[in-house]
């Protein structure tokens, strides 16, 4: 009887440890995946403030000089401080790299329906180009676990300062 | 009774001696391998838990701070960057001052201090920069590094005064 019991206990211990290992790996995976989702949110938050930054920069440039938005294309902005009297924010062609994120600002033309004045696309027969309105997309992309993730914001800007003062 | 006990013990000793050598080798090696694996898993779980906790605390602190600052600057009449760690925002003749003190960000408004970034995280650095251009005077750039438990992260944004 004793011999029998001892023989079993070894197998029992192995099975018990095996089960324990399975349970622990399982729970580790659960915790790891929840960690990854928190991490992703964390990185996403950093990207989100970069999107806000891009949009606020464009807003400031819009107020200062509408003509920087004249030509459609992909831009990034640079802050120039050559001397105290001559500080300016500048739109430069191409995307930029900020803390491991790629950020680009896409400026595109907007057309309106000539009757209703509402924004429309080129398929509309009453489409006319509105040079006083531009669509600005700020796109921030980053690599996460081999995948490209994106955060973006799109805003229509109009040349309201000249409507007010011009 | 005594005879029975002696017989039992003898039998037991004999039995154990017979098996111990091979068995205990296997036994100890299995247990040691499994223990090492289990301990490393537990350690990783604890590390990951702490890191995730730090991340969510840093996230909430930074969004709290940025949301507050962005709201105040957007609605302000004017703002002044006193030095790279101090910002004054004026709205309806009330001046609010954001400043870095002892790794915390304090908002001083009408002689009262409000803690904007709490001591749950430590503010390693903050940099306010006035990105004011030639014609408009309205762009504030903020750079902030927060850390907690060996994890540090830098956030940056820009806000345009309306």
Mutate to test the interface with B, among A2, A45, A61, A103 (most CBs of B within 10 A): A45
Q: Which residues contact B100 (CB under 8 A, 6 or more apart)?
A: B85, B86, B106, B123, B126
Kindly report, residue by residue over A67-79, the tens digit of the pLDDT: 888 888 899 988 8
pLDDT average, residue stretch A117-146: 88
pLDDT (0 to 100) of residue B135: 57
Q: What percent of chain A has pLDDT over 70?
A: 89
Residue A135 has pLDDT above 70, yes or no: yes
Contact across the interface for B133 and A35, Cβ inside 8 Å: no
Residue A17 has pLDDT above 90, yes or no: no
pLDDT (0 to 100) of residue B126: 92
Residues, chain B? 162
Task: Pull the structure tokens for residue A120.
Answer: 């429309």
pLDDT average, residue stretch A33-47: 91
Distance CA B154, CA B126 (A): 9
ipTM above 0.95, yes or no: no
Q: Which helix (H) or strand (E) holds A146?
A: none
Distance CA A24, CA A145 (A): 24
pLDDT (0 to 100) of residue A166: 43
pLDDT average, residue stretch A49-71: 85
Residue A82 has pLDDT above 50, yes or no: yes
Which residues of chain A lie closer than 8 angstroms to B37, CB-CB? 21
pLDDT (0 to 100) of residue B19: 62
Residue A33 has pLDDT above 70, yes or no: yes
* pLDDT per residue rounded down to tens, chain B (162 residues): 778 877 877 676 665 555 667 878 888 888 888 889 889 888 988 898 899 999 999 999 999 999 999 999 988 888 888 888 999 999 888 999 999 988 889 999 888 999 888 888 999 999 998 887 655 667 888 999 999 988 899 999 988 887
| Dihedral sign for Cα atoms in the order A83, A88, A93, A97 | positive
Contact across the interface for A28 and B159, Cβ inside 8 Å: no
Distance CA A65, CA B134 (A): 11
Distance CA B26, CA B28 (A): 6
3-state DSSP call for residue B113? strand
Q: Which residues contact A145 (CB under 8 A, 6 or more apart)?
A: A36
Which residues of chain A lie closer than 8 angstroms to B59, CB-CB? 41-42, 45
| A25 interfacial to chain B (CB closer than 8 Å) | yes
Q: Are B59 and A46 in contact (CB under 8 A)?
A: no
Task: Pull the structure tokens for residue A101.
Answer: 């994120």
Distance CA A32, CA A35 (A): 5
Domain layout of chain B by residue ranges: 61-160
pLDDT (0 to 100) of residue B133: 63
């Amino acid at each position: 009887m004793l011999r029998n019991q001892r023989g079993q206990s070894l197998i029992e211990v192995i099975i018990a440890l095996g089960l324990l290992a399975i349970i622990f790996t399982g729970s580790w995976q659960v915790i790891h995946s929840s960690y990854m989702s928190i991490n992703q949110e964390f990185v996403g938050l950093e990207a989100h403030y970069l999107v806000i930054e891009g949009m606020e920069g464009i807003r400031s440039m819009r107020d200062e000089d509408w003509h920087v938005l004249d030509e459609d294309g992909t831009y990034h902005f640079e802050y120039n401080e050559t001397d105290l009297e001559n500080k300016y924010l500048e739109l430069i062609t191409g995307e930029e790299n900020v803390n491991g994120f790629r950020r680009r600002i896409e400026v595109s033309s907007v057309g309106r329906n000539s009757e209703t004045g509402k924004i429309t696309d080129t398929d509309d027969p009453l489409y006319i180009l509105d040079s006083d309105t531009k669509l600005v997309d700020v796109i921030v992309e980053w690599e996460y676990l081999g995948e490209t993730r994106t955060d973006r914001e799109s805003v229509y800007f109009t040349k309201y300062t000249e409507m007010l003062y011009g | 009774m005594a005879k029975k006990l002696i017989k039992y013990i003898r039998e037991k000793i004999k039995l154990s001696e017979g098996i111990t050598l091979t068995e205990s080798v296997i036994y100890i090696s299995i247990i040691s391998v499994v223990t090492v694996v289990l301990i490393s898993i537990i350690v990783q779980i604890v590390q990951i838990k702490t890191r995730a906790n730090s991340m969510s605390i840093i996230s909430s602190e930074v969004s709290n701070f940025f949301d507050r600052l962005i709201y105040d600057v957007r609605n302000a009449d004017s703002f002044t960057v006193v030095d790279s760690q101090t910002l004054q925002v004026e709205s309806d003749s009330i001046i609010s001052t954001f400043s870095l003190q002892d790794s915390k960000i304090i908002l001083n408004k009408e002689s009262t201090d409000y803690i904007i970034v709490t001591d749950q995280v430590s503010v390693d650095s903050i940099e306010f920069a006035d990105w004011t251009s030639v014609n408009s005077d309205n762009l504030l750039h903020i750079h902030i590094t927060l850390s907690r438990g060996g994890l540090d992260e830098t956030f940056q944004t820009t806000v345009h005064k309306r």
